Amino acid sequence: MKEKRRALGRGLDAILESPDTEILSKERSGKPAIGNVTNIPVGNIESNPFQPRDSMEEASISELADSIKVLGIIQPLTVRSLGYDKYQLIAGERRLLAARKAGLTEVPAFIRVANDQEMLEMALVENIQRKDLNPIQIAIGFQRLTEECNLTQEQLSQRIGKNRTTISNFIRLLKLPPEIQIAIRNETISMGHARALINMESTDNQLDMLRMILERSLSVREVEDLVRNLRTPLRPKNAEKKQPLPQKFRVIQRSIAEKLSVKVDIQRNTKGKGSIVIAFDSDDDLDRIIAQIL
């Protein structure tokens, strides 16, 4: 009876087992060589200590395990050699968990050399490329890459293929209050809503707007209009542009101020109407000014 074929993906196991293929070349010791893809016992791979994923849904792992039973692992894992036939996962945590759940004893993996800094960077970059991340998870990944891996936003842009403005917009989300970040994470509000809220001046205003969005189911366009109006106070229709005070009135203003020893302000519109404002510091000061005038 023929041995049951291992579920390593259609065609992938044949490539790996071919003695002619370059990617399965061995070191003289017979151990897998660095830079190659080969089958590695599941028990010889330890988890990535820099794994950035905060949670993995059991249902999602089970679905992937069912797929692996039928199709095998299509994309090899990435590991680094620790020596003595031990390996540490760089990328592919979800695939490794699903492979264990599917009962596989070996998995295809690409072996490479990486230090801890590179391990962290590769794990974060792979994590960011996932399609099931919410904006806050992406923002945290971008921030960790810039801070912990000492990457500028421009360098990060080149590594992940996203423009610098996109990266900056995501990182700015982390400046929002926790209540709003939770709403983004839970998909209660969208990235568009969040970007509008960033432009508000105070945390209280941001939280008030969040409540308004939830209560009224406001669209992104409606929120943008509201925020714009709050930042631009309405000018009364009959408001007139203040005109410079003519020279002769400036002379009079200065003379009154000197005589009374107080600050004097003459306000006058283009029609000749206006007022004279005389400042005083106390009741006694006011009595003194009145006595001088009268």
Residue type at position 161: G
The CA-based angle 111-118-90, given to 5 degrees, is 45
**Torsions phi, psi of 286, nearest 5?**
-65, -45
**Tokens 């680094």 -> residue:** 80
Distance CA 45, CA 40 (A): 8
Write out the two tokens for 97: 């968990």
User: 172 vs 4, 11, 156, 231, 242, CA distance in Å?
Assistant: 53, 45, 15, 19, 39
Among 93, 106, 121, 126, the one annotated catalytic = 93
**Tokens 């005589």 -> residue:** 259
Distance CA 214, CA 223 (A): 11
User: 174 vs 8, 84, 135, 162, 234, CA distance in Å?
Assistant: 40, 43, 10, 19, 31
Q: Would you call 201 a catalytic residue per the annotation? A: no
Distance CA 131, CA 153 (A): 21
DSSP H helices in 106-260:
116-128, 135-148, 153-160, 164-172, 178-185, 191-198, 203-216, 220-231, 247-260
Distance CA 281, CA 54 (A): 62
Distance CA 142, CA 49 (A): 18
Residues classed as catalytic = 93
